[in-house]
A and B are shown apart, each in its own frame.
Chain A
Amino acid sequence: MMNNILVIPMLLPIIVGVLLIFLRTYGRLQAWVSIASMAVTTGISFYLLYKIQTDGILRLDFGGWEPPFGILFVADSFAVLLVLTSSIVTTICLSYALISTSKELQTMYFYPTVLFLAAGVNGSFLTGDLFNLFVCFEVMLLSSYVLLTLGNSKRQLREAIKYVSINIVSSWFFLVALAYLYGSIGTLNMAHVAERVAESGQTPLLTTISIVFLVVFSLKAGLLLYFWLPGSYSSPPIVTSALFGALLTKVGIYALFRMFSLIFHHQPEITHTIIGIMAALTLIGGSLGAIAFNDIRTIAAYNVVIAVGFILVGLAIATPAAMEGAIYYLIHDMVAKALLFLLVGTMITLSGTSKMAGMSGLMKNYPLLGWSFFITMLSLAGIPPLSGFIGKVLISAAAIDSGSYGLLALALLSSIFVLYSLLRIFKNCFWGETIVSKEEQPPLRKGVLWPCLALVLLTIGIGLGTEGMAPYVTDAAETLLNPEIYIDAVLGKIQ
């Protein structure tokens, strides 16, 4: 039985995106078609997730070339959970774009580019081949270059130049690391690499190569090497920021998890210690950044950095509970960061400034926006019924069990900084005296809050429905911690 359905989450956005290029002048039609295609992708991801639970890990050999000779897509619970979440978030962001973006942006290939971005993201999650991972990364990055520069402001151009140069350098490092790995192991199929690394017992040379990969993916994920992130995430149009904040760093995080749980997990005292230290420094740097600025978009961008550090604490500890916690938190963070950026963007559109000093008393005129922001804040801080809670609990519990008290302290402190930084926005922008009277306030564009409310419901739903998600997350964590399952699923037929 062919699993051709596996390629749909990448193929469908590409085909639809290409077709939309021919419909350039029809802004709204493009929006509806792209929303529909991402909704279909979401449905297919649901089906895949369900199918994996009954049939085990699925794989699709492109062109019928069996691994390790061909390129293949592998779907385990971890990958598909992320594909599912990213498709949902993209769908919602696209519907926000339908309502909020200008006609100019819509006709400048905005929707096709978002779809290509989604294709790159989904492809990166699903691929079972390291070179293909590089290609999917490039698809995603090229789309992100376009999205970052669409919008015609001087600041965007400045940030885009930084962003593009950083990413070209890190892509070059990626290629070098792939060349090293291919030179020493002779294969790039992930399962095959994992098998051969395990046979050799991960020699010092391989550990060194793994550090090169660590640097590459840290640059992409914003783990310690996040200096490019706050600027480039806070300059483009708001939908783009939301997509970047929700998806881009997550792909880097996914690659780190895959690399250091499937392939390079034999020397945890070196690699995982380094990851732990980097995560700790990221938490500190992100927390300082989040409270240091008065620009609400920059604060939101630093919140992305904190989350990256927090999730990587889970990988550094690498016990089953920590892995589960990290997966929960990863899913939560995709939803919550998209929500945070959309709300912040709506606030900026309403008040015409991104500085905290320019806003006050928004609560009186826009209560719904205010309470949505409040729920987002609680969710990001990890207050119980919301989605951030379970991840924080599991990672903290795992940190206590494994005796990593330093990481525990930093992880919990960072939550307080998240809460403080957002509470500051809440207090300054929503409370206080209402500067403009109700008549003078620009009206909230009709329907602009619906996508935000959908995400709010999602974060509440994930929090309350944790029980329902548990089997999938447990399965994902189990596959991550027992690489044999993955390797057998890919190479099983040959041996």
Chain B
Amino acid sequence: MNINDVILKTVSKAVVLIILTFGIYLFLSGHNQPGGGFIGGLVIASAFVLMFLSYDSETVSEALPIDFKKLSALGVLLAMLSGVAPMFFGGAFLSQSFGYFDLPIFGKTELATVTVFEAGIALTVVGVVVNIILSISEDE
């Protein structure tokens, strides 16, 4: 594409950062507030898609050397393994647990194993969405 879209490129530089922050916030607030891995993943994916739209795919692929097919596979694997893990501690498949920990900066924080599962979902969603967009945009 040879159109000189300075405005789009400049705006998306800032907007991508905002979208990514929002996506990660949605992902982290997931398990007891509106949000979660799926929605967070979609938002993060939309940031990537915006980058692919405003720059060409070679530039973005150079900056982000990620194979999105493998990223989604990694996500599924992570989600599955987080379900398998409790089976070794006498729990049922997909059992989740949580606990409160005193962390240096955050103070008393709730950490839940469901976040690992959600992270898997998020990676899968990002991988799949970006992959779909890239396959559609490719032409022979």
Contacts and interface: CB of A to CB of B under 8 A. Distances in A.
A448 B70 CA distance: 33
B53 interface: no
19 contacts: A2-B91, A4-B87, A7-B93, A11-B80, A11-B93, A15-B77, A15-B81, A15-B84, A19-B77, A21-B69, A21-B70, A21-B73, A22-B73, A60-B93, A62-B93, A63-B93, A63-B96, A64-B91, A64-B95
A14 B79 CA distance: 11
Contact of B76 (A14, A61, A62, A64): A14
B91 A11 contact: no
A18 B92 contact: no
Interface of A: 2, 4, 7, 11, 14-15, 18-19, 21-22, 60-64
Contact of A60 (B70, B77, B92): B92
Nearest to B69: A21
Contacts of B92: 2, 4, 60-64
B71 to A, nearest CB: 11
B116 to A, nearest CB: 14
A37 B91 CA distance: 24
B90 interface: yes
A61 B86 CA distance: 13
Interface in B62-111: 69-70, 73, 76-77, 80-81, 83-84, 87, 90-96
Counting from the closest, the 3 A-B pairs by CB-CB distance are: A21-B73, A63-B94, A62-B94
Contacts of B95: 63-64
Contacts of A62: 92-94
Contact of A15 (B69, B80, B87, B96): B80
Interface of B: 69-70, 73, 76-77, 80-81, 83-84, 87, 90-96
Contacts of B80: 11, 14-15, 18
A15 B78 CA distance: 10
Given A4-B87, A11-B84, A18 B93 contact: no
A100 B94 CA distance: 38
Contacts of A18: 73, 76-77, 80
Nearest to B90: A2
B68 to A, nearest CB: 12
A447 B2 CA distance: 56
A2 B94 CA distance: 12
A62 B90 CA distance: 13
A20 to B, nearest CB: 9
A90 to B, nearest CB: 19
Nearest to B93: A7
B127 to A, nearest CB: 11
Chief secondary structure at chain A's binding surface:
helix
A386 to B, nearest CB: 39
Contacts of B73: 18, 21-22
A342 B95 CA distance: 42
Contacts of A11: 80, 83-84, 93
Nearest to A109: B69
A18 B84 CA distance: 14
B2 to A, nearest CB: 34
B28 to A, nearest CB: 21
A14 B84 CA distance: 12
Given A4-B92, A18-B80, A60-B93, 9 more contacts: A11-B80, A11-B83, A18-B73, A21-B70, A22-B73, A63-B94, A63-B95, A63-B96, A64-B91
Task: Identify the interface centre among B69, B83, B84, B93: most chain A CB within 10 Å of its CB.
Answer: B93
A62 B117 CA distance: 14
Contacts of A19: 77
Nearest to A19: B77
A138 to B, nearest CB: 14
Contacts of A14: 76, 80
Contacts of B93: 4, 7, 11, 60, 62-63
Contacts of B77: 15, 18-19
Contacts of A64: 91-92, 95
A158 B73 CA distance: 29
Contacts of B94: 62-63
A199 to B, nearest CB: 29
A15 B92 CA distance: 17
Nearest to B81: A15
B38 to A, nearest CB: 14
A61 B91 CA distance: 10
A61 B95 CA distance: 9
Contacts of B87: 2, 4
A60 B87 CA distance: 12
A441 to B, nearest CB: 39
B96 A22 contact: no
Most buried by B among A2, A4, A14, A60: A4
A490 to B, nearest CB: 15
B40 to A, nearest CB: 21
Contacts of B84: 11, 15
A206 B91 CA distance: 37
A61 B94 CA distance: 9
Contacts of A4: 87, 92-93
A458 B91 CA distance: 38
B32 to A, nearest CB: 16
B85 to A, nearest CB: 11
A3 B78 CA distance: 22
Contacts of B91: 2, 64
